[in-house]
A = this chain, B = another copy of it.
Amino acid sequence: MKELQEKIKEYGTVLPGNVLKVDAFLNHQVDPVLMKHMGKEFAKLYKDAGVTKIWTVESSGIAPAVMTGLAMNVPVIFARKHKSLTLKDDLYTASVYSYTKETTNQISISKKYVSPTDKVLLIDDFLANGQALEGMLQIAQAAGVEVAGAGIVIEKTFQKGGQELRKQGLRIESLAKVSSLANGKAEFED
């Protein structure tokens, strides 16, 4: 997606440890018009996939996910993050390790809003090692819910998550594919 690449080039900054900081328009300050365009793009990519619900993880996935839900006219669920969680019967949970923050969070989705007839589209802001997607996939499996695929705003293709998950058969559509962050500069595939 050209518009997103341009935003990354203009406003993204590269930090040590292959961190691409996009808090100017995605995960602290948010550009609502860009979010709307991204939502329409995901809706177009998955228009024939029979999606009945969007899943994402708080917080940075919410804006693109809600715009995708609007474009596809389906509800959105954002999984909640908790540092730890006493067992709750009414929640599906999974563990998600964050390499950036070096913490493990539980993510949870209320069973009340999950139906076995759902076909979910997983939206997230970043795909690097694939931990957040794997957490959502675990929940989908536990719930017996079909997954149409994933919609990622920025995929770091030089990290292993996307490759491994595609190998497992997951459809992944990424709006920007960053192939390198060497020398403080984002390089894109295509």
A residues with CB within 8 A of B: 23-25, 28-33, 35-36, 58-59, 62-63, 65-67, 69-70, 73-78, 80, 109-110, 112-113
Contact = CB atoms under 8 A, between A and B. Distances in A.
A30 B80 contact: no
A69 B59 CA distance: 17
Given A23-B110, A32-B66, A63-B66, 20 more contacts: A23-B113, A24-B112, A24-B113, A25-B75, A28-B78, A28-B110, A28-B113, A29-B75, A30-B69, A31-B75, A32-B69, A32-B73, A32-B75, A33-B70, A35-B70, A58-B59, A59-B59, A63-B63, A63-B76, A66-B66
Contact of A29 (B59, B63, B67, B76): B76
A80 B73 CA distance: 29
The 7 closest A-B pairs by CB, nearest first: A32-B70, A32-B69, A58-B59, A30-B76, A59-B59, A29-B113, A62-B62
A66 B35 contact: yes
B76 A33 contact: no
A76 B63 CA distance: 10
A74 B29 CA distance: 11
15 contacts: A23-B113, A28-B80, A29-B77, A29-B113, A30-B66, A30-B78, A33-B70, A35-B66, A58-B58, A58-B59, A59-B59, A59-B78, A59-B80, A63-B76, A66-B67
Contacts of A59: 58-59, 62, 78, 80
A23 B110 CA distance: 9
A80 B76 CA distance: 21
A98 to B, nearest CB: 14
